[in-house]
A and B are shown apart, each in its own frame.
Chain A
Amino acid sequence: MSTQLNKEAVAYTENYGTHTSMAAADGVGTPILEVKGLCKNFSLPNGGTLQACKEVCWSLWRGESLGIVGESGSGKSTLMKMIMQMTAPSGGEIYLNGVEISKASAKEKREQRRKIQMVFQDSSQAFDPRMSVEDIICEPLYNFGLLKKGETTAIATKYLEMVGLNGTFAKRYPHEMSGGQRQRVAIARALVLEPDIVVFDEATSALDVSVQDSIAKLLVKLQKEKNLTYLFVAHDIALIRSICHRVVVMYNGEVVEAISAKHLTEAKHPYTRKLLAAVFEVTEHRKPVVL
């Protein structure tokens, strides 16, 4: 076992895989991202405490994609917010390239943000409606003082082509694109700072299935070309199985099972089994839904 997990998850964890068995992984050494005993508590108006994340542990190696699956209230979004440093953990540590980041100063945090970028579910809300696509893509560079005058169009074109869009999209505005095209622009924007890790929070769940399919293929292709590291948060366990190396299942703030995506259908935890049973497959004979 290459990764610390909490007790219950360990009991249900077989075939999780090690980083050395990862096809695309760098090999041995320090994980690129590691969370150890991460907790987040929220105070409730009635004086009680809501434990949104309880002792969450896992590691992520370069070139790997880790899927976090869970339903509403499972704590997956809170976990992402802590990793993105949008909210402070109540306990535990987050290591980026072996360095503890959760207690960094504001200036250090800003530098670290360069290394983790995020793609959201609805880019139409994440983009400034009055900015052109080229400005949207290059804004992160500008924010970090990395954009030279007159470079914008050339850089935007390079990244647009990388995500399968024509360079002419550079002059468009968010409302002049389809949802799938906007998600491609969001991916281009996330990649422009050459981050270590890209976090996808339900990034394809609002899209039509055929569009989702083409974006899933694009992400896997980009990962292989650039040795990118992905963290996917999604409720669609079948999609996660298709695009991830390893899967962490969360329920009620806890990691209940961690498993290699290849062996996902052999998962043992009752909640993971329930998630698997809830997938409607197109099969000749209708399977009864057992819940």
Chain B
Amino acid sequence: MRSNVTEYDLIAPATLPAALAALAENPGRYTPIAGGTELMVALSAGRLAQRQLLSLHKLRELRFIDVLPDSITIGAGTTFTDLRKHPVIASDFALLARAGSWLGSIANQNRATIGGNIVNASPAADSPPALLVYEAQVTLVSNRGARTIPYDQFHLSYKKTVLEPGELLFSISLPRRFGAYRSYIRKVGTRNAQAISKIALAGLALISEGKIADIRLGAASLREVPTRCIATEQALLNQTLSPESLPALIASARAALANEVRPIDDIRSTARYRAAVAANLLEEFLRGL
């Protein structure tokens, strides 16, 4: 049933300090809303529990992409359209641009922000697998100050993050050091356009002298949070990559992944399907190296 909008309140502070002050004055009172592509769906469906919201939509301080020689920093209010059209995202972080391209439709990409995609904390979200393999750091800000942590420490458990009351995600930084890596990303959903993923896998691998010198794997919908697949990475690290070694390598990687992931049955898929397809995606990545 449709929500009664008169029961909801929305404020829109004009600046980031004003937004942080409003959040600090009333701890836990306001739920931030940026592009609205998640929370407004809940409103339309009559299941938006949060009654007091604080709009981040017009905060210019959150919408930027800063490029340095060694890193790129993306403001949390950057839309997926902004990301897709940025030349350094396209050249250095192609997996992120690809993930952005399958996040809903063009209209959704015009509104949805990378910060919202992270903070909403869905295990199926589109950008986290790419952010995990690119070694993202996230900067969190409140009116007490800022802190920066590795993104792989941001999600604590299902829909729970390290964000404290009054704290906002400010930016995401990625080191520009993966130019020599081979990359892979694939999302499997019910259909190509507009469907939430059943499972997604991103991978980066550095091949040196016939060996896997470094490998990073990031997955959606394989655990209760977006996750690196560390044990699988360890099983592959320093292994020889050759036509003769490939079958055994694939077998051990598939076994490591099956042992490591904890997919679930839900409305979009089953645990069995997710585990099987995840192993197939990993094999596809390895065969392409």
A and B pair up? no
A binding-site residues for B, Cβ under 8 Å: none
B binding-site residues for A, Cβ under 8 Å: none
